[in-house]
Amino acid sequence: MRKLLFAGLLAGFSTMALNAAQAVEIEYWQYVFESRVKAMDKLIENFEKANPDIKVKHTTFPYDDYQTRVIAAKMAGNSPDVMQLFYGWLDKFVAGGILQPLPTDTFPHDKIESDFFPITSAMKRGEDYYGLPTAVRSLALFYNKKLFEEAGLDPKNPPKTLDELVAAAEKTAKRDANGNLTTAGITLDMAGQDHHWWREVLIRQYGGAPYTDNDRKVTYDSEAGEKALKFYTDLQTEKKVGELKFMDEGQAAFRAGMAAMTVDGTFRLGAFRTIKDFEWGVTELPANAEGVRSNYASYFANGIGANAKGEKLEAAKKFLNYISSPEAMEIWLKEVGELPARRAVAQTEANLADPIYGPFLRGLDYAHTTMFVDEAAQRQTAMDMVNRVVLEKQPVKESLAEAAKAEQTIIDDAQ
């Protein structure tokens, strides 16, 4: 009996060892953002349970190092099998041979175009898609209800127009006896989401357009662009309701209860839900005086590495198919707060009526998606433009013209 039992155990261990040996391991990379990392860990756990023959190694890097790491891995022949990338990095990743087109046997184009929000087309070049998002983002105005009440504002009636936004910022901003800002009426953070707010929202609300020719011709060196830039920089130079680099980052100031308002994206919901000291709300980005609204929509997509072949490619296809599935999107919404990239999953009655998700979903209806050629470099031109006005006292019109020229060079050099 003991011999039979021992033989059975050995057979069991042998089977387990054989299964382990036969399991395919693929590697998934993304940048470090706590709620996103936790959500992906949960998705990987679910995927591995359903696919015991596939193991997924989850590797993360700091955001500022991420692109460099991906490019270095490609040069060294060690690219991840599936990777996350910002949609604005696509041209760089395709030109660098980092991604392969999504196989149409698993990802047919007609299904992508019928099921996903139209902004997913930013991942298409020529006849090929190179990635799919799990979630999409839009912008909204977060506001601190406690600071609103202290300033005599109704927290149930957040700003609906740009004029109301400025008025609320003026009432909630605080300074000490020496004139130092202690509470911002609104955060000013061009390195965060404000460069999108200026580019795709304010410029359009002043009657202009940031680009033409499929975002390859810079057109914000205009009267509308000048008015939009003046509105933004006046928040510090004239209205004195916020300051660049106040508490280093806008989201940090808001989380600390030291900013009454901040413009940010759906991806911030997971972090802001940990706030214990005050209640916050979300509202659509304010309209202009004529009721014109605009928004900026974006996303991080997941693509398959160019070096994935054979059984690794098949495993990568299965994994990407799962993390872009309705089930994965529901988990991502709950864990991260980003909106599902599939329309049917996002636009439910419950989500549209939700006081948090609703403003972001409504923003998608009138959002624009900038087709960057080099997102980091183009963002830097906007940051430099504002710094010249606020810190160096350069005239708005001159700084705007300098930024437009610099960004046009970036775009032209990339073509």
Per-residue confidence of the chain (415 residues) as pLDDT tens digits? 445 444 444 445 444 444 445 789 999 999 999 989 999 999 999 999 999 999 999 999 999 999 999 999 999 999 999 999 999 899 999 999 999 999 999 999 999 999 999 899 999 999 999 999 999 999 999 999 999 999 999 999 999 999 999 999 999 999 999 999 999 999 999 999 999 999 999 999 999 999 999 899 999 999 999 999 999 999 999 999 999 999 999 999 999 999 999 999 998 998 899 999 999 999 999 999 999 999 999 999 999 999 999 999 999 999 999 999 999 999 999 888 889 999 999 999 999 999 999 999 999 989 999 999 998 999 999 999 999 999 999 999 999 999 999 999 999 998 7
Q: Please give the pLDDT value at position 398.
A: 98
Burial 102-135 (b: 16+ CB within 10 A, else e): beeeebeeeebeebbbebbebbbeeeebbbbbbb
Name the CATH code of domain 24-137+298-368 (choices 3.40.50.300, 3.40.920.10, 2.170.190.11, 3.40.190.10).
3.40.190.10
The DSSP annotation for 126-179 comes to: TTEE--EESEEB-EEEEEEHHHHHHTT--TTS---BHHHHHHHHHHH-EE-TT-
Instruction: Give 234: exposed, middle or buried? Use CB within 10 Å, 0-12, 13-18, 19+.
Output: middle
- How many other C-beta atoms are found inside a 10 Å radius of the C-beta of residue 37? 16
Instruction: Report which residue type is found at 252.
Output: A
Tokens of 394: 């350069």
- How many other C-beta atoms are found inside a 10 Å radius of the C-beta of residue 256? 12
Q: Please give the pLDDT value at position 21.
A: 55
Nearest 5°: the CA angle 208, 223, 398 is: 125
Q: Please give the pLDDT value at position 183.
A: 98
Helices (H), 299-367: 310-323, 326-335, 343-346, 349-353, 357-364
Q: Please give the pLDDT value at position 38.
A: 95
**Is-contact 387 244, C-beta < 8 A?**
yes
Q: Please report where in the chains the tokens 């033409």 appear, as a residue.
A: 212
Evaluate the CA torsion angle 237, 382, 398, 226 in order and state its sign. Answer: negative
Q: Please report where in the chains the tokens 């872009």 appear, as a residue.
A: 324
Rounded Cα distance between 125 and 111, Å, is: 17
Beta bridge partners of 56: 26
**Is-contact 96 74, C-beta < 8 A?**
yes
Rounded Cα distance between 319 and 333, Å, is: 19
End-to-end, the C-alpha distance of the chain in Å comes to: 75
The number of residues in the chain equals: 415
Q: Please give the pLDDT value at position 168.
A: 98
Q: Which fold has domain 138-297+371-414?
A: D-Maltodextrin-Binding Protein; domain 2 (3.40.190)
Rounded Cα distance between 285 and 249, Å, is: 20
Measure Cα distances from 209 to 182, 200, 231 in Å.
35, 8, 16
Q: Please give the pLDDT value at position 312.
A: 97
**Is-contact 132 112, C-beta < 8 A?**
yes
User: What pTM value is reported for the model?
Assistant: 0.83
In the three-class reduction of DSSP (H, G, I as helix; E, B as strand; rest coil), residue 119 is classed as helix
Domain definitions of the chain by residue range? 24-137+298-368, 138-297+371-414
Q: Please report where in the chains the tokens 């929000």 appear, as a residue.
A: 117
Rounded Cα distance between 305 and 100, Å, is: 6
Nearest 5°: the CA angle 104, 106, 108 is: 45
Nearest CA among 82, 92, 130, 68 for reference residue 308: 82
